[in-house]
Amino acid sequence: MPNQNGSVYGLTILSPIINDERATPSHDLQIRNYLATVPTGEGSPFALAPGTHLARLVVMDDVIYVGSPSIEEHLHSKYLVFESNCDGDLDSYLLGLATAVPQHLDAIWSHCVGYPGAANPQAFAAYMKACQIETTFYFAAVNDKSVPETLRALQTQRAVSDFIARHQGMNAALLQAEFAQFATRLKSEPLPASGSMGPLRGLKTGGRNE
Amino acid sequence: MSKLNETDIQGFVLRGYNLPFARYLFLHFEDSARARALVGRLLPVITTGQRWDHGKPQSTANIAFTHRGLAAFDLPEATLLSFPVEFLQGMKDRAAILGDTGINAPEHWDKLWLDNHVHAWLGINGQSPEAVDARCSQIQALMQETGGAMQLAWQDAAAIMDDGKPTSREHFGYTDGFGNPDYLGVERSTQPGQGKLMPDGTWAPLATGELLLGYADEAGELPVAPVPHILACNGTFMVYRKLHQNLATFRAYLEERSAQYGGGMEKLAAKFIGRWRDGTPVELSPDWPDPAIVQDPNRNTNFTYGADPQGTRCPIGAHVRRVHPRDAFGFNGRLIDRRRITRRGLPYGRPVPEGEPASDAEDRGIVFMALNASLSRQFEFVQQQWIEYGNDAHQGNDKDMLIGNHRGHGKFVVQGDLSATNPPFLCTHLPNFVELRGGDYFFLPSITALGMIAMGLVDPR
C-alpha cells in the first residue's frame, strides 16, 4: 500500500505557491528566506512536534529543460514540496504539527494558495490532505521503529559503547555487578529529545563532495 | 585504448620512481617573462614517463604549479578561470571541507604556506644525496641565470634505511606504498588488487581519465579540465600535504592500550592499519605476519572484504579498509572506482628505532602527495568522507584511526570474535597521531603544456 511502509507513514504534499506579481519579494522567495533560517537539531519544528523521522521542505520553481532530446515542459505553478517520514496515523500527525508549531507552519504555508492557517488544526489537516499525493519511496535509513523507539535505541547504543570503553578488561564478577547497575540506570533515563542524537560533524559539506 | 604518449607525460605521474632520496623545492615567480624563460630552460631537464631502458637515472626532476603560479605566467584570464574551483581556491581555503581544523588548521602550518607565495613545486628524486644535490645545483643555476624564480623553501625527504638499504617503512614502523591503482594505457608491472574489481573477481585497470586529464574517466566522461584542451591533456592535479607524525604519542598509545588487548601489541598495531607492520594484509593473515605474502605480488594487494563483513579479520575502520574499501560497500566494489588516488611520497626527519626515546616535537613525518584527475571527486572525497567521517564504513562519527583529526576524542572499534587472542576491543580518547603542517593543490602539466607556457602560446580560443 502506498503511503504506508510497515509502521512508517510516507507523506508527500505539494502546495501551490501564491503567484502574485505585486508581491515583493515574491511568495516563493519569502518561503525560501524563512526555510533558510529554520533551526535544525533539537530546535527544529519537526523535533518540537511529535512523530517525525525525517522531513524535507523544498521550493520547486519549475521543471528545468536540460536540452534536446528532452521535451520542454512547465509547471502551472510554483510548489512547496513537503516530504515527511512519520509515525502512524496521518490525522494525529498533522494535528500534532498544528498544535505544537503553528507559528512555523503559518510562516511557511501562508504563502500557499488556499491555506487556512494552523489556528484551526482540523482545517489545517484537511488542507494538507487536499494537497497530498501518493508516496512510493521512503528515506532508506528509517526502519520499522517508531521515533521514541529509535531515540531509545540510539541512547542505548551510545551508552553501551561508553560502558564498554570504561569497563573493558574488568574481571567478570565486578563487570556483571557494574553492568546490572548500568542497565537499571539506563532504563530509568529519560528519552532523549528528538533531534538531539544526530551526528556531531565539524565538516563543511556541499559542493560536489556528497 | 592505445598506449599513452609517455614522452609527453611527466614521469612522476606514470610511476613511483622508487628512488630513496628527494628534495622538494618551493618557488615563487616574480616576473612572467623571466618565469617563462626558466620553464623553457627546464624543459629538457624534466623527467618524462619514457621507459628507462638503460637503468634508472641518478636523479629525476618534475614540476607543478599552484593556481597563483599559473597566474604569474600571465596566462589568459579565460584559461585561469576555467580550472576546477577547488584548484582555484587552493588547499588552504578548502580547510573546512577537508576537516583541516583545530591543530590542523592553516594557522598552525609552516610559515611557508601562510602568505600564499608558493607558485611552483619542483620535485627532485635521486639515488643518493649527492645526486639530489647535483640536480638541485643544476636547477638553481638555471633559476639564477634566468632570474625566473625565487626559492622560498625546500623539503628534504628520504626512505628509512635498514643497514644502508632503503626500505618502504614510515616512522610508525609500517611498510607503506602498496596498492597504487593501475590505469588503462599506463605500462607498469601490474598486480591483482591494484585496479578495479570486476564482477568475476578479477582486477582490471581503471580508466585513464581517473589519473590524466583529456581521457575518458570511469563514467565515460572527460574530467573537468581547463581550456585549451592541449594545456590540460596529459596533465593531472597533485595534492601536497606535509604530515607530521607524533611518534612518541603513537608509541605510548599503542603500548598502553595493547597492555589490555588479548592479541598483543603487534596484532593491535596491525588492526589499526589492516596490515601487519611488515606489510602482510590482515585480511589474508589475521593471526601473524607472513613475509611470503608480502613478497608475492600475486597476493600482497590481492584481497577483498566480502567474506569479512563483521571485520573480525580486518576491522571495518582499519586505515586500508577505509581509504580503499575494495568490495566492502557491495556492488562488486563499483562504488569506489571514482574515488581512487595515486600516492607518491617519502618520509622526512630522523627515524628513531624501536626502543630508543622519541619525541613528538622533532620534525618528522611523511610528505604525502596524491595524483588524481579531480581533486574534489577523488582526494577531497576520500579525505572528507572516509578519513574524517565514518558513515560509509558504518562507523558513525569515527574517523580514520591513524590520520583522523581526533582532538583526543576519537574512537576506533576493533571487531573481534570469542577467541582470547582476537577479542573485540575499543580504542578511545584517540589523540592526533598525525598533524598537517601545510601543503597545497598543484597542476602537473604535460611536456607540451610546459612548452606552451614557456613560449606564451596558451590560447583558450
Q: Tell me, yes or no, whether B57 and B194 share the same domain.
A: yes
> By CA distance, what is A200's nearest residue in B?
B397
* Domain-terminating residue out of A142, A174, A194: A142
Angstrom CA distances, B108 to A23, B28, B226, B402, B441, stand at 50, 22, 32, 20, 18
Identify whether residues A57 and A124 lie together within a single domain. Answer: yes
Band (A154; pLDDT cuts 50, 70, 90): very high
Reference B71, options B61, B80, B60; nearest CA is B80
Q: What is the pLDDT of residue B400?
A: 97
Whether residues A34 and A113 share a domain: the answer is yes
Q: In this model, does residue B190 exceed pLDDT 90? A: no
Closest CA–CA distance from residue A207 to any residue of chain B (Å): 9
Site from A155, A161, A204 to mutate, B interface, most B CB atoms within 10 angstroms: A204
Q: Is the peptide bond before A50 cis (omega within 30 degrees of 0)?
A: no
Identify whether A199 is preceded by a cis peptide bond (ω within 30 of 0).
no
Model pLDDT for residues B34-88, shown as the tens digit of each residue: 999 999 999 999 999 998 888 999 999 999 999 999 999 999 999 999 999 999 9
* Chain A residues in contact with B99 (beta carbon < 8 A): 202-203
Q: What number is the average pLDDT over the span A154-166?
A: 93
Give the Cβ contact number of residue B419 at 10 Å: 11
Q: Contacts of residue A201 in chain B, CB cutoff 8 Å?
A: 389, 397
Inter-chain touch B397–A199, beta carbons under 8 Å: yes
Average pLDDT of the residues of chain B: 96
Nearest CA to CA, how far is A74 from chain B (Å)? 30
Average pLDDT, integer, range A126-150: 92
Instruction: Name the residue among A165, A200, A204 with its Cβ closest to that of B96.
Output: A204
| Domain presence at residue B28 | yes
The pLDDT of residue A1 is: 63
pLDDT at res. A208: 46
Which candidate in A154, A167, A168, A197 is best for mutational testing of the B interface (most B CBs within 10 A)?
A168
Answer whether 0.95 is exceeded by the pTM. no
- Give B396→chain A minimum CA distance, Å: 8
Nearest CA in chain B to A170: B260
Chosen domain end from A90, A116, A142: A142
Going by pLDDT thresholds of 50, 70 and 90, the confidence category of residue A204 is confident
Which of A75, A44, A40, A79 has the alpha carbon at shortest distance from A58? A79
- Domain of residue A167, residue span: 146-210
Residue of chain B nearest A207, judged by CA positions = B376
Give the position of cell 515542459.
A73
* B155-177: b (≥16 Cβ within 10 Å) or e: bebbbbeeeeebebbbbbbbbbb
Q: Is residue B357 part of a domain?
A: no
B388/A203 touch (CB, cutoff 8 Å), yes or no: yes
- Domain match, A189 and A154 both: yes
| Same domain as A203, residue A190 | yes
Domain count, chain A: 2
Contact residues, chain B, for A199 at CB < 8 Å: 391, 396-397
Measured between beta carbons, which residues in chain B are less than 8 angstroms from residue A207?
85-86, 97, 376
If asked whether residues A37 and A77 sit together in one domain, one would say yes
Give dist(CA B9, CA B48) in Å, integer: 6
Residue B429 within any structural domain of the chain: yes
Contact B112, B118 (CB under 8 A): yes
Contact between B361 and B225 under an 8 Å Cβ cutoff? The reply is no
| B330 contacts on A by Cβ (under 8 Å) | none
Residues A203 and A156 placed together within one structural domain of the fold? yes
Q: Give the CA angle between residues B197, B233, B206 to the nearest 5°.
A: 5
pLDDT at B275: 98
Helix (H, G, I), strand (E, B) or coil at B146: helix
**Same domain for B165 and B215?**
yes
Q: Does B278 lie in the same domain as B147?
A: no
Per-residue pLDDT, A209: 42
Interchain CB distance below 8 Å, B385 and A165:
no
What chain B residue is nearest to A201 in terms of C-alpha separation? B397
Question: pLDDT, tens digit, for every residue of B408-445?
Answer: 999 999 999 999 999 999 999 999 999 999 999 999 99
Give the model's pLDDT for residue B390. Answer: 92
Search chain A and give the residue with CA nearest B339: A209
**Which pLDDT score is estimated for B179?**
74
Domain assignment present for residue B365? The answer is no
User: What would the mean pLDDT of B199-213 be, rounded to a whole number?
Assistant: 95
Q: How far is A50 from chain B (nearest CA, A)?
A: 25
A168 contacts B388? CB cut-off 8 A: no
Q: Looking at the structure, do residues A29 and A133 belong to the same domain, yes or no?
A: yes
Predicted confidence (pLDDT) at residue A198 exceeds the cutoff of 90 = no
| pLDDT beyond 50 at B93 | yes
Residue B367 lies in a domain: no
* Confidence (pLDDT) at A143: 86
Give me the number of domains chain B comprises: 2
Residue with the larger pLDDT of the pair A191 and A41: A191
CA distance A203 to chain B (A): 6
Domain containing residue B51: 6-242+439-455
Q: Tell whether the model's pLDDT for residue A210 goes beyond 50.
A: no
Same domain, A152 and A134: no
pLDDT of residue A200 exceeding 70: no
Whether A124 and A154 share a structural domain: no
Note whether A61 and A8 are same-domain residues. Answer: yes
| Average pLDDT score over residue span A126-140 | 93
Q: Could B101 and A202 be called an inter-chain contact, meaning their C-beta atoms sit closer than 8 Å? A: yes
Residue A77 to residues A27, A58, A62, A197, B313: CA-CA distances in angstroms? Answer: 12, 14, 8, 38, 57
% of chain B surpassing 70 pLDDT: 100
Instruction: Please identify, among A142, A163, A179, the residue that sits at the C-terminal boundary of a domain.
Output: A142
User: Which residue of A165, A200, A209 is in closest CB contact with B397?
Assistant: A200
pLDDT, averaged across chain A? 92
3-state SS track over A116-169? CCCCCHHHHHHHHHHCEECCCCCCCCCCCCCHHHHHHHHHHHHHHHHHHHHHCC
Examine the pLDDT at A20 and tell me if it is beyond 60: yes
Which pLDDT band, with edges at 50, 70 and 90, does B2 fall under? low
Closest C-alpha among B405, B385, B408, B409 to residue B395? B385
CB contact under 8 A, B389 and A203: yes
Name the residue facing B384 among A164, A168, A203 (closest C-beta).
A203
Taking each helix axis as running N to C, give the angle between helix A90-100 and helix A102-109, from 0 to 180 degrees, rounded to the nearest 10.
100
Residue of A nearest to B405 (CA): A202
CA distance B176 to chain A (A): 27
Dump pLDDT digits (tens) for B19-28.
999 999 999 9
Average pLDDT over residues B340-369: 97
What's at B12, amino acid-wise?
Answer: F
Q: Do B97 and A165 count as a contact with CB atoms less than 8 A apart?
A: no
Return the axis-axis angle of helices A27-35 and A102-109, rounded to nearest 10°.
140
Enumerate chain A positions whose Cβ falls within 8 A of a Cβ in B.
161, 164-165, 168-169, 199-205, 207-210
Same domain (yes/no): B229, B320: no
Q: Using an 8 Å CB-CB cutoff, list chain A residues near B425.
A: 168
**Section B314-334 average pLDDT:** 95
Interface with chain B: mutation pick from A170, A203, A205, A210, highest number of B CBs within 10 Å: A203
Name which of A95-99, A143-147, B213-217 the model is least confident about: A143-147
Q: pLDDT tens digits for B128-173?
A: 999 999 999 999 999 999 999 999 999 999 999 999 999 999 999 9
- Say whether the peptide bond before residue B228 is cis (omega within 30 degrees of 0): yes
Answer yes or no: do B33 and B141 share one domain.
yes
pLDDT at A181: 97
What is the pLDDT at residue B1?
A: 58
Q: Could A165 and B381 be called an inter-chain contact, meaning their C-beta atoms sit closer than 8 Å? A: no
Mutate to test the interface with A, among B217, B257, B392, B428 (most CBs of A within 10 A): B428
Interface of B with A (CB under 8 A): 85-86, 96-97, 99, 101, 260, 376-377, 380-381, 384-385, 388-389, 391, 396-397, 411, 425-426, 428
Residues A172 and A138 in one domain: no
Give the closest of B85, B101, B425 to A168, CB-based: B425
Rounded-to-integer distance, Cα B283 and Cα B77, Å: 51
Please answer yes or no on whether A209 and B381 come within 8 Å at the CB atom.
yes
Residue range B255-272: mean pLDDT, rounded: 97
